[in-house]
Amino acid sequence: MTIDTKILLRIFLIIALISASQAIYCQSNQGENIFSPENRLKFGNYLYKEKDYLRALPELKEYLKTKTDDTTQFRFADCFFRLNRFSEAEYNFRTLFSSPTLADESRLKFFESLFFDNDYAALREYSERNSYSDFKYSNEVNRLKYISFFFDDSILPKENEMLNAFPDSVRPQILNYYLLKKFPPAKSVATAAILSAIIPGAGKIYTGEIGDGITAFAATALSAYLAYSNFHNDHQFRGWLFTGLTAFFYGGNIYGSAASAQIYNVRMKFDFQKSVKLFFEERNYFLPEINF
């Protein structure tokens, strides 16, 4: 073996060793890297931006196990919010109430979670506590509180109080809703039944079902006439048959008029809720868009 080849061999060995170690280093490094907390955070943030909240959740959670980071915690809570898992969102936004950077935003989001969770009682209770009420978005929360009165059956606040929470441009519409909520258009079940007892079908006409009212009147009148004419012509059996039919139509109509009045009232409420919901949804409940 010449010296040249010996040197060459040594160089080769060294290089092989270096490259092998580098390879091992690289592999472990890369392999760990993908699932390291930092990389999970990066991937989680990417998923969050892609609106894949369900997949972002575990990534952000893994990161939060190793570090406390308000922005990430906020996004983590927001994932629950976007997935309509409001009670988990409430819990996680609450942990940020003393955050130096996101205290106000997380408070707002906390109230939004209560609102969309339909937990109006809690929303009103918290919003009136001093420790919760004085912050950057108090006006927004106040409005949410007033909007919530349209969605349940609790006693409405004073008209002016409510109107003042909203911008001038929508006040006439809010007033309109306020009055509809306070004095809902309703038909009396008893009136409908009594009207139909006096004149068959009248109760239905009273509740707005004119076609049904006329039909009920015609059916009752026709069968009554047939009963009368059959008795008159001494057809006893047919006479009783049509008498029974008359009673059937007459009784059914009284009952139906009462049911119809009740359905009218429920429908009015249903339509009102739909219209109110649409109105506020179109305006995003007057909430600001918080972006990261």
The residues that touch other proteins, with contacts defined as CB under 8 A, are 4, 8, 11-12, 15, 18-19, 22-23, 26-27, 30-31, 33-34, 39, 42-43, 46-47, 50-55, 82-84, 189, 209, 211-212, 214-216, 219, 248-249, 251-253, 255-256, 258-259, 262-263, 265-267, 270
Of 139, 81, 130, 135, give the one whose Cα is nearest residue 110: 81
Q: Say which residue the tokens 């004073």 belong to.
A: 158
Residue pair 131/144 in contact (Cβ under 8 Å)? The answer is: no
Token pair recorded at residue 2: 């010449």
3-state helix, strand, coil in the chain (%, to 5): 80, 0, 20
Nearer to other proteins, 134 or 281 (CB): 281
Q: What is the closest distance, in whole angstroms, from the C-beta atom of residue 169 to other proteins in the complex? A: 29
Judged by beta carbon, residue 56 or residue 114, the one nearer other proteins is: 56
> H or E element: which one contains 73?
helix 70-82
The angle subtended at Cα 144 by Cα 100 and Cα 173, nearest 5°, is 140
CB of 100 to other proteins, least distance (A): 31
Closest distance to other proteins from the beta carbon of 9 (Å): 12
Q: Which is nearer to other proteins, 66 or 84 (CB)?
A: 84
- Least CB distance from residue 74 to other proteins, whole Å? 18
Report which of 111, 110, 120, 114 is spatially closest to residue 152, judged by C-alpha positions: 120
| Smallest separation (angstroms) from other proteins to the CB of 27 | 5
Nearer Cβ to other proteins (240/248): 248
> How near is the Cβ of 73 to other proteins at its closest, in Å?
21
Q: Which is nearer to other proteins, 83 or 122 (CB)?
A: 83
Query: Which amino acid would we find at residue 203?
Result: G
How far does Cα 73 stand from its chain's mean position? 24
Handedness of CA 205, 208, 212, 214 (dihedral sign): positive
Nearer to other proteins, 25 or 240 (CB): 25
Question: Rounded to whole angstroms, how far apart are CA atoms 179 and 46?
Answer: 47
